[in-house]
Structure 1
Amino acid sequence: MIAFVLMLCAFAVGTSEFVVVGVLPEVASDLGVPLSVAGLLVTGYAIAVAVGGPVLTVFTRRLPRRPLLIGVMALGVAGSLLSSIAENYTVLMGARMVAALAQGLFFAVASQVATASVPPERQTAAIAKVVNGVALSTVAGVPVGTLVGQAYGWRASFVLVTALAAIGMLGVILACPKVDHAPDAGFRASMHVFGRRSILLGLTTTVLAFTGMITTFTYVTPALREITGFSPGWATVVLLVYGLGTVVGSNIAGRVRPELIPRVLPFTIGALSLVLLVQGMAMHTKATSVLALFLLGASAFATGPLLHTWLMRQAEPAGGLVASVNISAFNVAAALGPVLGGAVITGGFGLDLVGPVAALPALAGLGVAFLVRGWARRQDQAAQPDGAARPLPVAA
Structure 2
Amino acid sequence: MIIYVLFVCSFAVATAEFVLVGLLPQVATDLDVSVAAAGQLVTAYMIVVTVGGPVATVLTRRLPRRELLAGTMALATVSAVASAMATSYPMLLSARLGSALAQALFMAVASQVAMASVPPERQTVAVARLFGGFALATVLGLPLGSLIGEAYGWPVTFVAVAGLAALGLLGVLVFCPRVPTPPPAGVRDSIGALLRPGIYAGLGVTLLALTGFVAAFTYVAPMLRTVTGLSPGWVSVGLVGYGLGTIAGNLLAGRVRPEAITRRLPLAVAVLTAILLAQPLLLPVAPLALAGLALLGAAAFLVVPLVQTWLMGQVDPATTGLVAAVNISVAGAAGALGAALGGTVLAVGLGPAWIGPVAAVSVLAATIVATRLHRVTSSRGPSREALVQR
Structure 1 length-normalised TM: 0.96
1:339-354 paired onto structure 2 within 5 Å: 339-354=340-355
How far apart are the structure 2 equivalents of 1:340 and 1:390?
37
How far apart are the structure 2 equivalents of 1:108 and 1:332?
16
How far apart are the structure 2 equivalents of 1:60 and 1:289?
45
Q: Deviations over 1:107-131 (max 9, x none)?
A: 0000000000000011000000001
Task: Check the 8 A contact 1:314/1:393 in 2, yes or no.
Answer: no
- Report deviation, 1:186: 2.4
How far apart are the structure 1 equivalents of 2:215 and 2:8?
27
Structure-1 residue corresponding to 2:65? 65
Structure-2 residue corresponding to 1:100? 100
Structure-1 residue corresponding to 2:334? 333
- Report deviation, 1:92: 0.8
Structure-2 residue corresponding to 1:386? none
Structure-2 residue corresponding to 1:250? 250
How far apart are the structure 2 equivalents of 1:279 and 1:128?
27
Q: Deviations over 1:314-339 (max 9, x none)?
A: 12220111101100011001111111
How far apart are the structure 1 equivalents of 2:294 and 2:233?
18
Task: Check the 8 A contact 2:241/2:294 in 1, yes or no.
Answer: yes
Q: Amino acid of the residue matched to residue 354 of structure 1?
A: I
Correspondence 1:182 to 2:178: no
Structure-1 residue corresponding to 2:221? 221
Structure-1 residue corresponding to 2:51? 51
1:104-253 paired onto structure 2 within 5 Å: 104-253=104-253
Count of residue correspondences: 387
How far apart are the structure 1 equivalents of 2:214 and 2:77?
28
Q: Deviations over 1:219-260 (max 9, x none)?
A: 001111111121112211211111111111011111111011
- The verdict on how the C-alpha distance between 1:391 and 1:123 changes in structure 2, with shifts beyond 3 A counting, is closer
Q: Amino acid of the residue matched to residue 339 of structure 2?
A: P
- Report deviation, 1:392: 5.7
Q: Deviations over 1:354-374 (max 9, x none)?
A: 111111110111111012112
With 133-142 and 76-85 compared, the bigger mean Cα shift is at 76-85
1:276-355 paired onto structure 2 within 5 Å: 276-317=276-317, 318-355=319-356
How far apart are the structure 1 equivalents of 2:21 and 2:301?
22
How far apart are the structure 1 equivalents of 2:316 and 2:205?
19
How far apart are the structure 2 equivalents of 1:158 and 1:136?
17
How far apart are the structure 1 equivalents of 2:377 and 2:271?
21
Structure-1 residue corresponding to 2:35? 35
How far apart are the structure 1 equivalents of 2:315 and 2:386?
12
Q: Amino acid of the residue matched to residue 84 of structure 2?
A: S
Q: Amino acid of the residue matched to residue 333 of structure 1?
A: A
- Report deviation, 1:391: 4.9
How far apart are the structure 2 equivalents of 1:393 and 1:263?
17
Please provide the CA RMSD for this pair: 1.3
Task: Check the 8 A contact 1:280/1:351 in 2, yes or no.
Answer: no
Please give the secondary structure, in 2, of the residue aligned with 1:142: helix
How far apart are the structure 1 equivalents of 2:238 and 2:192?
45
Q: Deviations over 1:15-52 (max 9, x none)?
A: 00110000101111111111111111111101000111
Please give the secondary structure, in 1, of the residue aligned with 2:177: coil
Q: Amino acid of the residue matched to residue 27 of structure 1?
A: V
Task: Check the 8 A contact 2:10/2:130 in 1, yes or no.
Answer: yes
Structure-2 residue corresponding to 1:373? 374
Task: Check the 8 A contact 1:111/1:127 in 2, yes or no.
Answer: yes
Q: Amino acid of the residue matched to residue 353 of structure 2?
A: D
Structure 2 length-normalised TM: 0.97
Runs of 4+ with >4 A deviation? 389-394
- Unaligned ranges ≥5, structure 2: none
Task: Check the 8 A contact 2:3/2:114 in 1, yes or no.
Answer: yes
- Report deviation, 1:298: 0.8
With 325-334 and 368-377 compared, the bigger mean Cα shift is at 368-377
Q: Amino acid of the residue matched to residue 14 of structure 1?
A: A
Q: Amino acid of the residue matched to residue 16 of structure 1?
A: A
Structure-2 residue corresponding to 1:77? 77
Q: Deviations over 1:295-314 (max 9, x none)?
A: 10111101011000000011
How far apart are the structure 2 equivalents of 1:370 and 1:316?
24
- Report deviation, 1:185: 2.1
Structure-2 residue corresponding to 1:274? 274
Task: Check the 8 A contact 2:275/2:295 in 1, yes or no.
Answer: yes
Task: Check the 8 A contact 2:277/2:360 in 1, yes or no.
Answer: yes
Task: Check the 8 A contact 2:108/2:324 in 1, yes or no.
Answer: yes
With 190-199 and 68-77 compared, the bigger mean Cα shift is at 190-199
